[in-house]
Amino acid sequence: MTTKANTPAGSSAAGLRGVAAATSSISDVNGEKGELIYQGYNIHDLAKQSTFEEVVFLLWNKQLPTAPELQELEQSLRAEYGLPSEIIALMKQFPREADPIDILRTVVSACEFYDSTARDLSREASVRTAIKLTSQFPTIVAASDRIRKGLEPVKPDPNLNIAANFLYMLKGEIPSERDARIFDVCLILHADHELNASTFTARVVAGTLADMYAAVTGAVGALSGPLHGGANTAVMKTLLEIGSIENVEPFVKRALAEKRKIMGFGHAVYKTEDPRATHLREFSKQAGELAGDSKWYEMSRKVEEVIKSEKGLYPNVDFFSASTYYMMGIPLDLYTPIFAISRISGWTGHILEQYADNKLIRPRAEYIGARDLPYVPRDQRA
């Protein structure tokens, strides 16, 4: 096993902390410096200057696109926004109270039935599948929200980019340029993060040469947990529970005294500010100003201040994305599916990388159980 050079000292095998379990050029996290790069480009440069579609190209192709290459990818993505009618019909049968992230997991798995080349793992066919999945994730998530509200899904608009199209399909109206750009950058910031739990899951499944739908279905399952992508919804629930800025300090101190975790803080790799949080803090502020309600941003800043002084912990990507999405009027239980709308680009990039140089991922467990026990017949056991 190799250990990553930029991993904090004291890493243990528990949770595979610090273990490099794959080689990849897609992204790298330097936990000490608080640095994140995609294919060599710093996340701060991409957040300021790039678009989500350009980042998708970068993750899949190891380089930024030329203008014609970007245009071609954008056209291919927009051509795939729609879902098979059978999938919409299936979604209408799900229970109204089903969690949108579970709907997404189930629908991705079902989409495999309607892709005749799903089992073709060549680079060419796999890129086509990656385009489909990246295009259709927003449509699935928006449709699941409309259907549970008893509304018809809004047809995707191929004139809009992925970010604007999602907000359009969710609300039925074209978003403001400001909201669309904030959301576009949120997608850039969540696109990839090295070998996090869901990406590792995707690679493990792809490593068996199962198809991309199987790998992505597993990844969505891993993302749904509260210690991973589920944290952003939990953050907003905590803020709503705290309710006011005056309650922040007593609430956080009590939670820490009771050894409860405050969602959106701490990170398995970053031991300093998560560079994604730097942008999201600003977006939370801007989204609050745009909506004329800065309460949630101010409360978030106070939570940040108290946790920093009490525990020395920094906010991660989930903390300020919660109040940003809340101010954009997005329902709480869509925050984790939104994470997936972005992360599908990284998952598929890693799956393409895995297929290109595959080796079955099969680690060993350190056995700590008993050995050589005599088998006692069932009727003689105490």
Q: Taking CB under 6 A as the rule, does residue 222 contact ligand COA?
A: no
Does residue 227 interact with ligand COA by CB under 6 A?
yes
Of 238, 236, 216, the closest CA to residue 284 belongs to 236
* Member of 207, 266, 275, 346 binding ligand COA (CB under 6 A): 266
**What whole-number distance in Å separates Cα of residue 365 and Cα of residue 380?**
32
Identity of the amino acid at 312: G
Burial 193-208 (b: 16+ CB within 10 A, else e): bbbbbbbbbbbbbbbe
- The verdict on 169 binding ligand COA (CB under 6 A) reads no
> Considering beta carbons, is residue 127 or 256 the nearer one to ligand COA?
256
Query: Could you tell me which stretch among 18-26, 88-96, 159-167, 313-321 binds ligand COA (CB under 6 A)?
Result: 313-321
C-alpha to C-alpha distance for 320 and 345, rounded to whole angstroms: 22
Which of 213, 164, 161 lies closest to 54, judged by CA? 161
Q: Is 78 in the site for ligand COA (CB under 6 A)?
A: no
Report which of 56, 185, 130 is spatially closest to residue 351, judged by C-alpha positions: 130
How many CA atoms, within 13 angstroms, populate the side-chain half-sphere of residue 138? 31
What interhelical angle do 100-111 and 335-356 show, nearest 10?
A: 30
- Which residue lies nearer to ligand COA by CB, 136 or 238? 238
The number of angstroms, rounded, from the C-alpha of 196 to the middle of its chain's C-alpha atoms is 10
* Of 134, 238, 241, 145, residue with least CA distance to 190: 134
Q: Which of 190, 267, 279, 350 is catalytic?
A: 267
261 binds ligand COA (CB under 6 A): yes
Chain residue whose CB lies nearest ligand COA: 266
Per CB under 6 A, does 267 bind ligand COA?
A: yes
Binding mask 13-32 for ligand COA (x = CB under 6 A): --------------------
- Contact with ligand COA (CB under 6 A) among 268, 322, 341, 351: 268
| One residue of 231, 303, 330, 351 binding ligand COA per CB under 6 A | 231
Does position 264 bind ligand COA by CB under 6 A?
yes
228 is catalytic: no
Catalytic residue among 179, 192, 274, 318: 318
Nearest residue to 59 (alpha-carbon basis) of 355, 356, 354, 353: 353
Query: Rounded CA gap, 319 and 335, in Å?
Result: 11
Is position 262 an interface residue for ligand COA (rule: CB under 6 A)?
A: yes
318 is catalytic: yes
Residue 306 makes contact with ligand COA by CB under 6 A:
no
- Cα gap 332→355, rounded to integer Å: 35
Our finding on whether 237 is near ligand COA (CB under 6 A) is no
Nearer to ligand COA, 147 or 262 (CB): 262
- Under the binding rule (CB under 6 A), the answer on residue 214 touching ligand COA is no
CA dist 228 and 44 (Å) reads 22
- Select from 80, 179, 211, 318 the one that contacts ligand COA (CB under 6 A): 318
Per CB under 6 A, the list member of 48, 250, 311, 356 interacting with ligand COA is 311
Does residue number 145 form part of the binding site for ligand COA (CB under 6 A)?
A: no
Nearer CB in complex with ligand COA: 142/268:
268
**Owner of token pair 């009618």:** 85
How many degrees, rounded to 5, is the angle at CA 38 between CA 46 and CA 236? Answer: 70
- Select the span of 34-42, 50-58, 112-120, 314-322 touching ligand COA (CB under 6 A): 314-322
Greatest distance between any 2 Cα atoms in the chain: 76
317 lines the binding site for ligand COA (CB under 6 A):
yes
Residue given tokens 């199987």 in the structure block: 214
Residues in the site for ligand COA, rule: CB under 6 A?
227, 231, 261-268, 311, 313, 316-318
Q: Would you please indicate which residues are annotated as catalytic (active-site) residues? A: 267, 318
